[in-house]
Chain A
Amino acid sequence: MSAPAHHWVFRSKSERIALRLPVRALVALALLALVLLLICCVSLATGTYGVALNEVIDTLRGLSISRAIDNVVWEFRFPRTLAAALVGAMMALSGAALQNTTRNGLADPSLVGVSQGAALAVVTLTVVFPDVSGALRPWAAFAGAILVALAIQGLSHTRQGGSAIRFILMGIGLSTFISSITSALMTYGDIDRAMAALSWLAGSINAAGWSDVWTLGIWCAVLLPALLAISRSSSATRMGEASAISLGVRVKLIRNLQLAIAVALAAIATSVVGPLGFVGLIAPHAARRIAPAGIGLNLLITAMVGAVLVSLADLVGRAAFAPIQIPAGLLTALIGVPLFIVLMVRSRSSASH
């Protein structure tokens, strides 16, 4: 353990609420928020419609310069920027919860097949039932993701505890299997539908609109507090299951709830923008390295890191080869894999994390 960290103590009037928060983590959170804000601003000022920076600022302040610029800033860029941040946060949180539940530092929704399961469900919906409303997509995605999560749970029940790498490999096998089914479905389906599904599967935030932002926002607002609440209970299990059980903590229930929330977060995000890999893997580790903190604060930092990552990926994908747009999903893979390798190399031995 390093030198004792400085804490900031907050007590409410009646001492009902007392918080002891590490300063470094708070500073980190604030800085990350600032970076996110910066990226969002750059994102709002970037695009194929040439808008000068001062015009962007004016429009944001409410001064309408022209209807076209209003549209570009408020209707095209703003929802996309928000969606990127929200999706990033949700995928990061999903990864954190997944890593906590499975006690496996290499877990990520797309590496265990959860994202692929969600994707398969949505593709099935698009190809087999094309007339069904798009509002059903998040629910279908959730169903698909839950099925995969159950499969993973079932598979990882062996006599031995199971090593981290083994779990991930099984996940990779499962996700490959699911991907092949998805490919088969697209071969079989109507070509129009297949093409629509194909562009969505690249994992891009291109088409995000305000309705998507509302969907993401509402679900995030529901799931994040739930996760925070559950995580506080699950911190007891860090001392070992036996101690936790003796403390009256319902270990199994909490674990399953955490897993369900992790799956839900990944599924909702995937249903809106397609599968987005490696964010859930990288963000929790980065958060831990940036500043050690208690569970709640750690989750917030993780979410912030995820938001920054995906917002940046989306921005770079949009701007680097303009006017050709690279989907954010490809960029997170390109950044994510090398980081994943670094994590692998630096991880402790193959025993559980």
Chain B
Amino acid sequence: MSTMAAPNAGTHPVRAWSGVPVLLGILALAFLLHIAVGAKQLSLGTVIEALFNFDQTTFDHVIVRNLRLPRAVLAVIVGASLSLAGALMQGVTRNPLADPALLGLTSGAAFAVVIATSVLGLTSMIFIPWIAMVGALGAALVVYIIARLVPGGATPLSLTLSGAAISAFLSAIISVVHLLDQDTFENLRVWLTGGLAGRDITLLFYVGPPIALALIGGVLLAPRVTVLAMGDEVAQGLGVKTGALKVQLLAVVVVLTACSVALAGPLGFIGLVIPHVVRLYVGSDYRWIVPYAALAGAVYLLGVDTIARIAIPPREISTGIITAMIGAPLFIQLVRRRTR
């Protein structure tokens, strides 16, 4: 992906804005579709009634409000967070292959939670998001350091390979812990597959505020990411404090990733796929890529989760499996087209 484009190349301000209401509309539709579809057939009228005229004594309404709605909200939050994080990462590292999962952050978060729960016995929900953040940050740093050491430096390819290696390593350790401590592991096994089924929605109270802050922060910082994407020297020449900016962006990415992992387990490829799709429409200005990615990511995960629930009735495929099945081929394509 060329980094030489000027900030607004190929993007008309009008065109950029016009997409937002459209995307919001699509999001609303996807949301409605998600909660309208399920094991029990419900008419759209019932769904709408349940949302606005909730009657606790009607089971159909309970289905919509207490079963489907939380899951849809989860999909929106996690989808938006991971996509936004991916977009930011791709901008900062100038690496179209960047994705929180590929660069080891989700593995790091998962690993930290497993170790804390299994080895240290910390099970209180309050700690989980923070532990996940520590893990994600640690993994990101290790991946970066290793990539730096590779001849050629931290190129997109070396970063990705380093991330894959670290993920594989952490995954193996988790497996070993599993074998040594099967009891504690039973609870974690489900969470580790990554998906939105049967998640504890009360966790949202603990991660809600950090995620909200990070999402807002990400959108606000987005314009400066475009400048950063032009190169450190150029950015500094334009008066941007690259060091501080990178730290802030890293913080945002780590918070978003860790909280998403805490909510839905490790979900991969979302942060990779969405920014690329979004770029096709809005060009390379991160001021637009970032918020669009968030919206598009929410739509994407809603769609994928809907498919996961209705593809092979009455069973459910894990959402994580579907994101991998869609994301992996795209990843392969992206790698193929790399020139460096």
Q: Tell me how far the C-beta of A181 lies from the nearest C-beta in chain B, rounded to whole angstroms.
A: 7
Residues from chain B with a CB closer than 8 A to the CB of A325 are 179
Can you name the residue of chain B whose Cβ is closest to the Cβ of A333? B172
Kindly list chain A residues whose C-beta atoms are within 8 Å of the C-beta of B336: 155, 158, 166, 170
Instruction: Say whether A134 faces chain B, with CB atoms less than 8 Å apart.
Output: no
Shortest beta-carbon distance, A313 to chain B, in Å? 12
Report Cα–Cα, A3/B25, bound state, in Å: 73
Chain B residue numbers with a CB within 8 Å of A246 are none
B152-171 vs A, CB cutoff 8 Å, 1 = contact: the mask equals 10010110111011101101
Q: CB distance B175 to A170 under 8 Å?
A: no
Is B151 in the interface zone, CB < 8 Å from A?
A: yes
Distance A287 CA – B332 CA, assembled complex (angstroms): 31
Q: Are B157 and A350 in contact, CB atoms less than 8 angstroms apart?
A: yes
| Complex contact B321–A347 (CB within 8 A) | no
Within 8 A of A (CB), among B122-158: 146, 149-152, 155, 157-158
Contact A188 B312 (CB under 8 A): yes
Of B79-87, B274-282, B323-331, the segment with at least 4 beta carbons within 8 Å of chain A is: B323-331
From A151, which residue of chain B is reached at the shortest CB distance? Answer: B332
B169 touches which of A163, A166, A187, A337 (Cβ 8 Å): A337
- Taking a contact as CB atoms under 8 Å apart, the answer to whether B328 and A344 are in contact is no
Encode B99-129 as 1/0 by CB contact (under 8 A) with A: 0000000000000000000000000000000
> CA of A333 to CA of B157 in the docked complex: distance in angstroms?
21
Please tell me if the beta carbons of B162 and A344 are within 8 angstroms of each other in the complex. yes
Q: Which residue of B lies closest to A152 (CB)?
A: B332
Q: Is the CB of A168 within 8 A of B161?
A: yes
Most chain A C-beta atoms within 10 Å of own C-beta, residue among B318, B338, B340: B338
B339 at the interface (CB under 8 A from A): yes
Whether B23 is near chain A, meaning CB under 8 Å from some CB there, is no
Q: Is the CB of B321 within 8 A of A183?
A: yes
Instruction: State in angstroms the CA–CA spacing of A255 and B312 once bound together.
Output: 42
Q: In the assembled complex, which residues on chain B have CB atoms less than 8 Å from the CB atom of A177? A: 324-325, 328-329, 332
Q: Are A173 and B150 CB-contacts (below 8 A) given A165-B161, A324-B179, A350-B155?
A: no
Which of B172, B176, B180, B338 is A166 in contact with, Cβ under 8 Å?
Answer: B338
Contact of A170 among B166, B168, B332 (CB under 8 A): B332
A344 — which chain B residues lie within 8 A by C-beta? 146, 150, 158, 161-162, 165
Asked whether A340 lies within 8 Å of B165 as measured between CB atoms, the reply is: yes
- In the bound complex, residues from chain B placing their C-beta under 8 Å from that of A163 are 157
| Residues in B whose Cβ lies below 8 Å from that of A277 | 168
Do residues A341 and B151 form an inter-chain contact, with CB atoms below 8 A? Answer: no
Contacting residues, chain A, for B152 (C-beta < 8 A):
349-350
Residue A132 at the B interface, CB < 8 A?
A: no
Q: Is the CB of A166 within 8 A of B335?
A: yes
A169 cross-chain contacts in B, Cβ below 8 A: 97, 157, 160-161, 164, 331, 335
Question: Which residues of chain B have C-beta atoms less than 8 A from A350's C-beta?
Answer: 151-152, 155, 157-158, 340
Task: State the main secondary structure of chain B at its contact with A.
Answer: helix
Would you give the 0/1 interface string for A317-353, flagging 1 where the beta carbon is closer than 8 Å to chain B?
0000100111000100110011011001101111000
B9: interface (CB < 8 Å): no
B residues 246-273 near A (Cβ < 8 Å) are: 268
Question: Is there a chain A Cβ closer than 8 Å to B317's Cβ?
Answer: yes
Q: Does B173 contact A (CB under 8 A)?
A: yes
Residues of B within 8 A of A106 (CB): 161
For the complex, is B315 an interface residue (Cβ under 8 Å from A)? yes
Residue among A169, A184, A202, A348 with max Cβ neighbours from chain B (10 Å): A169
* Interface residues of chain A: helix, strand, loop or mixed (majority): helix
Do the beta carbons of A347 and B150 come within 8 Å of each other?
Answer: yes
- Which chain A positions have C-beta within 8 A of B160? 169
A128 part of interface (Cβ distance < 8 Å): no
The answer, yes or no, to whether A180 is at the interface (CB within 8 Å) is yes
Q: How far is the CB of A117 from chain B (nearest CB, A)?
A: 14
A172 within 8 A of B: yes
**Closest A-chain residue to B155, C-beta based?**
A350
In the bound assembly, the distance between CA atoms of A176 and B327 in angstroms comes to 10
Structural contact, A174 and B332, CB atoms closer than 8 A: yes
Q: Are A173 and B331 in contact (CB under 8 A)?
A: yes
Query: Which residues from chain A contact B172 at a C-beta distance below 8 Å?
Result: 330, 333-334, 337
Complex formed: what's the CA distance from A348 to B151 in Å? 7
CA A170 to CA B330, docked complex, whole Å: 10
A160: CB under 8 A from chain B? yes
Chain A residues whose C-beta falls within 8 Å of the C-beta of B158 in the assembled complex: 165, 344, 350
Q: Which of B162, B169, B179, B329 contacts A173 (CB 8 A)?
A: B329
Closest residue of chain B to A169 (Cβ to Cβ) is: B335
Chain B nearest CB, measured from A244 CB (Å): 27
Residues of B within 8 A of A165 (CB): 157-158, 161
Give the residues from 14 to 67 in chain B that come closer than 8 angstroms, CB to CB, to chain A: none
Given contacts A187-B317, A341-B165, contact A349 B151 (CB under 8 A): yes
Residues of A within 8 A of B164 (CB): 169, 172
Q: Which residues of B contact A202 (CB under 8 A)?
A: 175
Contact of A176 with B324 in the complex, beta carbons under 8 Å: yes
CA distance A333 to B175 in the complex (A): 11
Q: Which residues of A contact B315 (CB under 8 A)?
A: 187-188
Which of these, B173, B268, B325, contacts A334 with CB under 8 Å?
Answer: B173
Closest 5 CB pairs of A and B: A177-B328, A180-B324, A333-B172, A173-B332, A337-B169
Interfacial residues, chain B to chain A (CB-CB below 8 A): 97, 146, 149-152, 155, 157-158, 160-162, 164-166, 168-169, 171-173, 175-176, 179-180, 193, 268, 312, 315, 317-318, 320-322, 324-325, 328-329, 331-332, 335-336, 338-340
Q: List 12 A-B contacts (CB under 8 A).
A: A165-B158, A165-B161, A169-B97, A173-B329, A177-B325, A180-B324, A183-B321, A325-B179, A334-B173, A337-B168, A350-B152, A350-B340
Show the binding face of A for B, using Cβ within 8 Å.
Answer: 106, 155, 158, 160, 163, 165-166, 168-170, 172-174, 176-177, 179-181, 183-184, 187-188, 202, 277, 321, 324-326, 330, 333-334, 337-338, 340-341, 344-345, 347-350
